[in-house]
Amino acid sequence: MIRNVLKVINPGIYTLLQDNGRIGYRNFGVPISGAVDKKALNQVNYLVNNPANSPCLEILSVGIELLTLDDCYIAFTGANSTILVDQKIVKSYETLLIKKGQLITISEIKSGLRTYLGVNGGFVSDLYMGSASINEQILIGNRLKRDEILSTYNSHNEIDIISLKRPDYTNHYRVIVGPDIHKFSSIEIKKFFKNSYKVTTKLNRMGISLYGEVISHIDSADVLSHPVIFGSIQIPADGQPIILLADGQTTGGYAVIGNICDEDLYKLGQAKTGDLITFSKING
């Protein structure tokens, strides 16, 4: 049974339905997409008793206002944000029972960038190439709009109220070097791992541009275009690293110094302008 549960009073800055992303289309140039912070997505689904891959709202920063149309279980994970229900602060990382007529808002972000909202039953959504993940840039779906009604598949089942601990979001990333490590001298590689890099304002779901100590190439920044992944660290000609995220392109022609290990990728979803990032080298 489909049930209307939330009405969008204010969509906020940029709110998207996201699941774990698309598999099997990268050979046609389609990025994987999905939540940038997949750990937060999976945790929020756990809290509301959903399969890990159920679509949730990925809410950028503050400003969203949602009116509850029917009682439902929801939860919030991701950014360390101040969430209000009828002007009273509620906890994130905990199952919440919200009653019809209540107003949900995010008023402040203490740290992080993206808050995930999950609802018991999962949000009803269209599938595009096997995934509900929205990617407006490639004409897949739309961001949340004012007056939009969100529905779920669930009935009125009761679920347990549970909580989880917010994971570590320290901006330190373990990197497996390659495949274009031959483009850099050992001095430059050391420099990359020794210094910290600041997240610039060039930041979206495709990538994060960093600013810091310039990393020089032995000859040039260009390589023959090759596959890149979520977590690839490219060094373009200006020597300033770019980290590719969930909506990042599938192939790239800038030298890739290394790729962030899978266990640390989720933290990239919470890195925001001004944050300092450090890297360490692992064998993987």
Partner 1 sequence: MKVTCEYSKMGSNHVFVRFSHVINKEINQFIREVYKTLIIKQPKGFIEVYFAYSSLTVQFDLTKTSYKVMKKDISQIIGDTTISKITYGNEIIIPITYNKETGPDLDYASDYLNISKDEIINIHSSGQYMVYMIGFLPGFCYLGGLDSRIHLPRKKTPRVLIPKGSVGIANSQTGIYPLDSPGGWQIIGKTNKKLYSPNDEQPFLLIPGDIVRIMKT
Using CB under 8 A, list all residues that contact partner 1.
23-30, 128-129, 137-140, 176, 178-179, 223-227, 229-232, 249-252, 259-263, 284
Which distant-in-sequence residues (6+ apart) come within 8 Å of 39 by Cβ? 167, 266
Residue closer to partner 1 (CB basis): 1 or 224: 224
Residue closer to partner 1 (CB basis): 101 or 284: 284
Whether the Cβ atoms of residue 74 and residue 90 lie closer than 8 Å to each other: no
Q: How distant, in Å, are the alpha carbons of 27, 52, 131, 133, 250 from that of 24? A: 7, 19, 11, 14, 12
For the chain, what percentages of helix, strand and coil (3-state, to nearest 5) are there? 15, 40, 45
Residue closer to partner 1 (CB basis): 61 or 267: 267
As measured in angstroms, the least distance from the Cβ of 142 to partner 1 is 12
Residue closer to partner 1 (CB basis): 231 or 241: 231
Q: First vs last Cα of the chain: how many Å apart?
A: 45
Residue closer to partner 1 (CB basis): 129 or 218: 129
Class of residue 70 by CB neighbours under 10 A (exposed 0-12, middle 13-18, buried 19+): middle
As measured in angstroms, the least distance from the Cβ of 280 to partner 1 is 14
As measured in angstroms, the least distance from the Cβ of 156 to partner 1 is 34
- For residue 64, how many other CB atoms are within 10 A of its CB? 24
As measured in angstroms, the least distance from the Cβ of 161 to partner 1 is 30
Nearest Cα residue to 78 out of 62, 63, 102? 62
As measured in angstroms, the least distance from the Cβ of 137 to partner 1 is 8
> Peptide bond preceding 51: is omega within 30 degrees of 0, i.e. cis?
no
